Chains A and B, each alone.
Chain A
């Protein structure tokens, strides 16, 4: 059973960089044809796609966040990571990591999510 678990600070100061890691277990992060992604959800609001990546390192970012987002993968640790720079209160959200089920953006496996609050 594939499992994903987000980890990282729950509180980040404005203008700093948010850093999260997703640890994958129960399956290989290098398995072909699947993509790994980050999705966020501000409190009481809807879902927003942040970006996706392939185990080879190819990345695809949301146009609205592209200038601030970096995603990377460490296959030796079965982890992939998200960095979001210059955060503001608007970046306060539950951040989910996920893997696709069949295609490029059909996320069929999700972590439980982690709340990141941006506040001084």
Chain B
């Protein structure tokens, strides 16, 4: 059971907007920044969003992050077939004194 809770799966059609949630607690999401990673099949994870809503250079602005209370969200607009991947949220947990990842969400582009 992950400290950060994500839905196991999500789906959308090309061009749609999809959101993936990440539910945590006051020890992690509320008190620390949230990062999001994209992992394409057979590859290393890629940092998509850091500091809750910042995009590293090279990440398209179709990807956006937000946070409210104990939950964070990743939104993908203008969904494309190449967005089909696993997505993970992550944050520092003050109670565990360590970094924690969500269980991951498998995004399918229909």
Contacts and interface: CB of A to CB of B under 8 A. Distances in A.
A106 B47 contact: yes
B19 to A, nearest CB: 20
A36 interface: no
Given A102-B51, A106-B47, A46 B103 contact: yes
Interface size class of chain A, counting residues whose CB lies under 8 Å from the partner chain? 20 to 34
Interface stretch (A26-34, A74-82, A110-118): A110-118
Nearest to B35: A106
Interface residues of B, number: 27
Contact of A108 (B50, B96, B97, B104): B50
B85 interface: no
Contacts of B2: 46
A96 interface: yes
A91 interface: no
Interface string A43-85: 0001111001000000011111000000000000000000000
> Which has the most chain B C-beta neighbours within 10 Å: A46, A48, A61?
A46
Contact of B45 (A52, A61, A101, A110): A110
Contact of B33 (A61, A64, A103, A110): A103
A63 B88 contact: no
A74 to B, nearest CB: 23
Nearest to B103: A46
B37 interface: yes
A107 B90 CA distance: 10
22 contacts: A39-B45, A46-B2, A47-B37, A47-B39, A47-B88, A47-B104, A48-B101, A49-B90, A49-B98, A62-B98, A63-B96, A63-B97, A96-B44, A101-B47, A102-B50, A104-B92, A105-B92, A106-B50, A108-B50, A110-B46, A111-B44, A112-B43
Interface of B: 2, 33, 35, 37, 39, 43-47, 50-51, 54, 56, 88, 90-92, 96-104
